[in-house]
Amino acid sequence: MKLHLTAAAAALLFVAGTGIGHGAKKQQPSATAYHQKAPEDAAKALLELALVQAGKNGSWERIGAGRVYYLGGLKAQGQAVFDAILSGKHEDSDVYRIARVYAEAGEWAKAKPLFDRFIAGNRDDAKAHAEIGAHYLLQGDRATAERMFDRAFELENDNPWITEYVAGAYLGVKPQE
């Protein structure tokens, strides 16, 4: 009898442990998240999942989800993602990526201070100088843009991407990430 109880207890613990192990696995998309749903509802379900998949430490991935929310017309949800990232410990590159989203949305007033904040701490990033300078030029601030272009070429004068960002800005072409 004692052996049966021990075996039953072991089986119960094994099943409970298996259930816990399966529950701890990262969530994955399933068709129920998007099949037969209105586009916005499908997007919301998938973005909630993407944020869970990204976890706490996946700031680039979380910014990606925030970008989709923000540019997809769900600005409050996107802004909440950005605010959560910026209010905690974050990398300079997070500031840069969020500024890019605002620029892509045509919100220079929100992008500019973040770009300025990034460039102040990253004076030796040639590509950033070219890209941010391009945004300045596209907003009509040629003097600031050209100072940034000068710095970009001073740092790195043989990178075709940098040269293309600068050339594109003079033709009204936004920099591509």
Question: Tens digit of pLDDT for each residue in 94-148?
Answer: 999 999 999 999 999 999 999 999 999 999 999 999 999 999 999 999 999 999 9
75 and 101 housed in the same domain:
no
Is the distance from CB of 81 to CB of 66 less than 8 angstroms?
yes
Last residue of a domain, one of 89, 111, 131: 89
Residue 10 lies in a domain: no
Last residue of a domain, one of 57, 74, 89: 89
Map tokens 């068709």 to a residue. Answer: 31
Task: Look at the chain and report how many structural domains it folds into.
Answer: 2
109 and 57 housed in the same domain:
no
Last residue of a domain, one of 67, 89, 111: 89
The model carries a pTM of 0.81
Taking residue 147's Cβ as centre, other Cβ atoms within 10 Å add up to 14
Is the distance from CB of 51 to CB of 65 less than 8 angstroms?
yes
